[in-house]
Structure 1
Amino acid sequence: MSTSRQVALLRGINVGKNKQVPMAPLRELIESLGFEDVKTHLRSGNVAYTANTTPAAAAKKIEAALEKEMGVKAAVLTRSHDDLAAIVKSDPLGDVAKNPSLYLVTFLSEKPKTGPLKNLDPDEFAPEAFKHEGREIYTWSPDGVRNAKLTYQYWEKLLGVTATARNWRTVTKLLDMTST
């Protein structure tokens, strides 16, 4: 496999007293796995890197190393630069989602079964809105993310997958970080 720019999204680190992961040691850990040009964004577990493995294989390596070397058990979801480019290009709620901090992309560990999604009534969540595409669910929470119904936890429970979310500003920054 040829090398590619990828991003790892670590779920649930640095949000409470547990799972504190400083960014410099995290970068060093990722580099120790053989990944190159490692960069972090914010303190919330966003890591861009170059790898000569698939994003799925990279996720497994990172998860195992986090637990072994740092004692942190955290789900890691990965996407390639091309995945991020497609996500940003799609922008299915861009016509209504005008505040990037209230526009979230929920990344799923796998493409979910469509049954649970087909049975959802979008009006039940108004004024929130959502759109599912592949391994992502885009959500718009105009009344704020803190009190939103359509959280990554909601999608995990409904769909039986692992999920983590990032706001639109972070998603576009991660695309920029994987473009170099």
Structure 2
Amino acid sequence: MKTHLALLRGINVSGHNMMKMDTLKSALENYGFKNVETYIQSGNVFVDTDETNAASVGFQIKQEIFKVFGYEVPVVVIGMSDLEACFANNAFLKASNVDTKKLYVAFISKELSAGAMNDLKMSQVKPDEAQIDGNKIFIQYAIGAGKTRFDQKYIEKKLNVTATIRNWNTVTKLLEMYKERS
């Protein structure tokens, strides 16, 4: 069995795509996933399965959500190594007096090309900053996530990908949970 972490985008936000995590957990267990565990209402779901392909797991979860809830919900599936890389490769963490409340990670549906940073056109969203690391974008917001143009929709439009963003506290907790499952 392999553990996957599915990050659902756009659920339980401002009254849209509402779903109870207990109902989601039951639906995924009924589908056949094992050891299903959710974390907070924003759509972080651990599943165990014999399927090793992350994209396939994401597709299965997306299909089951549509079947049970009737919502088209984008899903990005990551592994523990993706979360570990957030700590190892995030240059913003190395700055003195870093404010982790302004650090976020955008998890992307595919590996980003070398030219992706140019495609983001960061000059349009200054003073926010970003750094690309494979299928992740490390973000440091100047003011905060609620007052920026550099959000998931901006990233998706500029890079033609599916993206979902998590704050640093959530990334930290998800890695902790992943390690507890190992």
TM-score (norm 2): 0.89
Map residues 77-156 of structure 1 onto 2, 5 A cutoff.
Answer: 77-96=76-95, 98-118=98-118, 122=122, 125-156=125-156
Deviations 1:130-176 (A, max 9, x none): 10010110100131111123211111111011111001110111111
Q: Is the 8 A contact 2:119 2:158 kept in 1?
A: no
Q: Is the 8 A contact 2:76 2:109 kept in 1?
A: yes
Cα distance in 1 between the residues matched to 2:41 and 2:59: 21
**Stretches of structure 1 lacking an aligned partner (at least 5 in a row):** none
Tell me which moved more, 74-83 or 48-57.
48-57
1:5 to 3, 6, 18: 3
Task: Please state how far the C-alpha of 1:104 moved relative to its aligned partner.
Answer: 0.8
**Which of 12, 21, 24 is matched with 2:22 structurally?**
24
Q: Is the 8 A contact 2:25 2:36 kept in 1?
A: yes
Query: Percent of aligned positions with the same letter in both sequences?
Result: 30
Q: TM-score, normalised by structure 1?
A: 0.89
Structure of greater relative contact order (alpha carbons < 8 Å, 6+ residues apart): 1
SS of match in other structure, 1:5: strand
What count of residue pairs does the alignment treat as equivalent? 178
Bigger fraction of residues in helix = 2
